Amino acid sequence: MIKKMQINNKILTTILIVLLINILALGLIRADAFAQAISSTSEKDIDQYQTNIQNVQTKKEEQNNAITQNNLAPVAILQGLNKINAKTSELKVPVGGKVSFGSLSIEAKKCWKSPPDQSPENKILLKIIEIGADGVENTIFYGWMFSSSPSISSLEHPIYDITAISCQFK
């Protein structure tokens, strides 16, 4: 994060220098007035400016963390499709809990719902295990499913399809 900020500061400094050179070349400001303004800027002013930037960034990170924590729901809503009999089922999986769907064991790890002022989105972290006829467990999916793009993030199995629907607060 600090290296990224340093790179961004270097880029910003370069852009400002180029901009100031062009302004001086066009005669929009006098060179002597510009030199006087630059020389009056102290190291203390620069340090204070950097401290202010870091404080703002820290506050934004704290706000984002609070928003993220407030948007974690206790129940994930999934849709399961059995392709053999073409039957769909709504699956309510408590976060930290497991639900069986045919030979699948579905565990919801996290369920995040976007705030009302953003585009509708639900992100569900799932672990899906297939239990074979011999009782052997095989993890067939571990990752995030997104309700807004089921074609990208759903489970496609020879017998079952699992799709994220929403996160429920209850």
Chain-wide mean pLDDT for the chain?
Answer: 82
Q: pLDDT tens digits for 38-92? A: 666 666 666 777 777 777 777 767 666 555 667 899 999 999 999 999 999 999 9
| Percentage of the chain exceeding pLDDT 90 | 48
**What per-residue confidence (pLDDT) applies to 85?**
95
pTM of the model: 0.60
Cα(164)–Cα(122) distance, rounded to whole angstroms?
8
Residue with token string 């706000």: 63
Tokens 């079952």, located at residue = 160
Structure tokens at 133: 């006829």
pLDDT number for residue 51: 78
- Mean predicted confidence (pLDDT) in 101-108: 96
Q: What are the structure tokens assigned to 81, written together?
A: 């499709």
